[in-house]
Amino acid sequence: MLALLWKDLLLEFRTKERLSSLFVLALLIVLVFVFALSPEQIQGPEVEAALLWVTLVFAGMLSLQRSFLLEQERGCFSGLLLSPIDPGTLFLAKMLGNVMFLLLVEVIVAPLSLTFFGVPFSGSLVMLPIVVLLGTVGFSALGTLFAAIAVRTRAREVLLPIMLLPLLVPLLIAAVKVTSAVLSGEEWNGMWFRVLLAFDIIFVVTGWLIFSQVVQE
């Protein structure tokens, strides 16, 4: 599994295509929000949390599109499947790869966008990385599964968001709620945290179990 993960990371670090394009795209989405809403309107933790997550979701979608594309185009995926690797392991490796890419982008984009939105950096922000991590894991779990599906269909660019976005609704609501609580420094509702955690656990396990059905040739 580590070897698989290493392969993906190595490929990326040789080219840096995905990371650089993701970073620029995320930055552009933030800018579009600022121009569309005007900076004065982006105020209050709720709006800021919402914009942050919309940015991450759409940038993440692009990253997912790419995650199976290289292998599909050059037929490497069949090779991977022929090797004696358990499909569940393959899923976990792919998912972790996606999580890491997204985290690398988020580490830059999240502070940057919060700066653009004028959020003061205070002590309560230490919880933000945890929330972002939980959100990213859930997103990547479902995302990896459906990216693997979408890449083998026609119309893959449209199908991925269409399948993924409705299923992400609980994650998105919970992530925005927790993030906005963190940004405002309030005591948060532990329920939201549990929804996030439950989402992560349920879909990582389901993805791990069901992935063999997806990659069967």
Partner 1 sequence: MKRFAPFADNVLPWLTLTTMIAALAMVFLYVPNERVQGLVQRIFYFHLPSAWNTFLGFFIVAGAGASYLWQGNRFFDLLAQAAAEIGMVFCTIVLITGSIWARPIWGVWWTWDPRLTMVVVLWTIYAAYLLLRHLGGDTEQIARYAAVLGIIGVLDIPLLHIAVRLWRGIHPKVDKMAPEMLWTLLMCTVAFLCLFTWMLWLRLRSLSLREEITTLRRQAVATA
With vertex at residue 150, the alpha carbon angle to CA 149 and CA 151, rounded to the nearest 5 degrees, is: 95
The single residue among 147, 199, 204, 208 that binds partner 1, judged by CB under 8 A, is 199
Separation of alpha carbons 33 and 81, rounded Å: 42
Stretch that binds partner 1, among 9-17, 23-31, 87-95, 147-155 (CB under 8 A): 147-155
At closest approach, how far in Å is the CB of 115 from partner 1? 29
CA 170, distance to chain mean position in Å, is 14
Q: Could you tell me if 64 and 98 are in contact, meaning their C-beta atoms sit under 8 angstroms apart?
A: yes
43 binds partner 1 (CB under 8 A): no
Give the long-range contacts of residues 128-134, CB within 8 A, separation 24 or more.
Answer: 128/179, 128/182, 128/183, 131/175, 131/178, 131/179, 131/182, 131/196, 132/56, 132/103, 132/106, 132/179, 133/103, 134/175, 134/196, 134/197, 134/200
Q: Between residues 23 and 199, which has the closer beta carbon with respect to partner 1?
A: 199
The single residue among 117, 195, 204, 208 that binds partner 1, judged by CB under 8 A, is 195
At closest approach, how far in Å is the CB of 217 from partner 1? 8
Q: Between residues 60 and 114, which has the closer beta carbon with respect to partner 1?
A: 60
53 binds partner 1 (CB under 8 A): no
153 binds partner 1 (CB under 8 A): yes
At closest approach, how far in Å is the CB of 40 from partner 1? 25
- The number of CA neighbours under 13 Å toward the Cβ of 43 is 4
111 binds partner 1 (CB under 8 A): no
User: Which parts of this chain interact with partner 1 (CB under 8 A)?
Assistant: 142, 145-146, 149, 152-155, 158-159, 162-163, 165-167, 169-171, 173-174, 177, 189, 191-192, 195, 198-199, 202-203, 206, 210, 213-214, 216
